[in-house]
Amino acid sequence: MKSQFNRRDFNKLTAAAMGGLVTGSLATGASAADKPKHDPKLLLKEPHVCRGLNVCKSKGADKKNACAGMGACATAEKHECHTHNKCKGQGGCGDYPGQNACKEQGECAVPLGKKAWAKARKSFEAEMKKAGKKVGPAPKK
């Protein structure tokens, strides 16, 4: 490839690229003219809605169990942010907060063993089997 083109060829290719730039800038100019002015409503879609916990609207306590009333167990309502992310309310204390599952060894156990990759492998193998795909040997420990 190196010797395929000479200096004159490269000048022609540069000119082709410049032609593209002009064409693209004309398209941009046209679309900019059509573009509506800044829409303040876009601010309502800002991304930090998911991140700042205090922005996520609390549902308040459900008054049924030990986890309730903390705010932390009452999670944000589902809503879009980042235009795609869902702030998922997962409940602070596992699937059964009403059963006082919030113990150190329970659903939201702290600490948890560092075996996530091993579990991920198992889960991956199951997925691949379901899809009828072969799986190579597991990575070394």
* Of residues 37-66, those binding another protein (CB under 8 A): 38, 42, 45, 47-48, 50-53, 66
Q: Specify the residue, 62 or 123, whose C-beta has the smaller distance to another protein.
A: 123
b/e burial code for range 34-43 (CB count within 10 A of at least 16 → b)? eeeeeeeeee
SS3 content of the chain, % helix, strand, coil (to 5): 40, 5, 55
Minimum distance from residue 62 beta carbon to another protein (Å): 14
**Rg, the chain, Cα only:** 28
Q: Which one among 40, 44, 63, 133 touches another protein, defined by CB under 8 A?
A: 133
Using rule CB under 8 A, residue 24 touches another protein:
yes
Using rule CB under 8 A, residue 88 touches another protein:
yes
Q: Specify the residue, 96 or 108, whose C-beta has the smaller distance to another protein.
A: 108
67 and 73 in contact (C-beta within 8 Å)? yes
